[in-house]
Amino acid sequence: MTDNPTLKIDTLGRLKEHGYRIGISCGPCNRFKVADMDALIARKGEDFEANHWSITPLFRCERCGDGGRIAMQLMAPTLGPKTGR
């Protein structure tokens, strides 16, 4: 049996390191925006836990102002000519 360690990507720093992005969407007005990872890390630090319950309270919709019905989507890295991978 091969020992295959699990990769744990659970902080803002690790998300950025592995090419992940965070999408933020507003329930009431359906606005979607990709979060600025550099600004988020500057604000909360690389070791800040990256899960729905810790990330969504940091955001308020720029369009309608709602902050209580914000959703977070973890966006996996993509491969292709734009990323150079």
CA torsion angle 40 47 8 76 (round to 10): 10
Which pLDDT value is given to residue 81? 65
Which pLDDT value is given to residue 80? 67
Which pLDDT value is given to residue 78? 82
| Cα atoms in the 13 Å half-sphere on the side-chain side of 4 | 2
Residue at 11: amino acid letter: T
Q: Domain map of the chain by residue range?
A: 12-75
Instruction: List the beta bridge partners of residue 24.
Output: 33, 72
pLDDT string in tens for the chain (85-residue length) = 567 678 889 999 999 999 999 999 999 999 999 999 999 999 999 999 999 999 999 999 999 999 889 999 999 998 766 655 5
Distance of CA 19 to the CA centre of its chain: 10
